[in-house]
C-alpha cells in the first residue's frame, strides 16, 4: 500500500519575520544611498562625516542583525511549540 503524499511545508510570512527582514534591509539602503552621506561636514572628533557615518552603520547593523536574529529564533520556537501540540 502506498503512503499518502506528505504535505509540503511552505514558509509562512508573519509580522515578526517581516520586521526581521526590515531590520536586515535598513543597513543596505543606508549604505547604498551614497548621496546622503558623500560630504565632509559635520566632522566628528576630526573625522569627516563620510567615514564616521559608515563606521556608525557597522555598529547599528550589528544591533539590527542581533534584533532580527532574536525575532527569528523566537518565531521558530513558537512555531515548533505550536506544531508539537
Binned average pLDDT, 10 residues per bin, the chain of 85 residues? 65 86 94 88 90 93 97 90 76
Residue 8: Cβ within 10 Å count: 5
At 47 the three-state DSSP class reads: strand
Asked if residue 36 belongs to a domain, the reply is: yes
- pLDDT score for 48: 92
What region, left, alpha or beta, does residue 45 occupy, with left being phi > 0 and alpha being psi -120 to 50 degrees? left
- pLDDT score for 83: 76
65 HSE (CA, 13 A, CB side): 8
Residue 39 DSSP one-character state: S
Asked if residue 42 belongs to a domain, the reply is: yes
pTM of the model: 0.77
Q: Look at the chain and report how many structural domains it folds into.
A: 1
Asked if residue 40 belongs to a domain, the reply is: yes
Asked if residue 4 belongs to a domain, the reply is: no
Asked if residue 60 belongs to a domain, the reply is: yes
Asked if residue 6 belongs to a domain, the reply is: no
Q: Which domain holds residue 75?
A: 31-84
Asked if residue 19 belongs to a domain, the reply is: no
- pLDDT score for 38: 85
Amino acid at each position: 500500500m502506498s503512503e499518502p503524499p506528505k504535505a509540503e511545508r511552505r514558509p509562512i510570512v508573519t509580522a515578526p519575520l517581516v520586521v526581521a527582514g526590515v531590520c536586515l534591509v535598513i543597513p543596505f539602503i543606508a549604505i547604498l544611498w551614497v548621496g546622503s552621506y558623500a560630504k565632509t561636514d559635520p566632522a566628528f572628533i576630526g573625522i569627516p562625516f563620510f567615514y564616521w557615518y559608515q563606521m556608525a552603520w557597522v555598529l547599528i547593523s550589528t544591533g539590527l542583525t542581533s534584533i532580527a536574529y532574536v525575532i527569528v529564533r523566537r518565531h521558530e520556537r513558537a512555531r515548533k511549540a505550536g506544531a508539537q501540540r
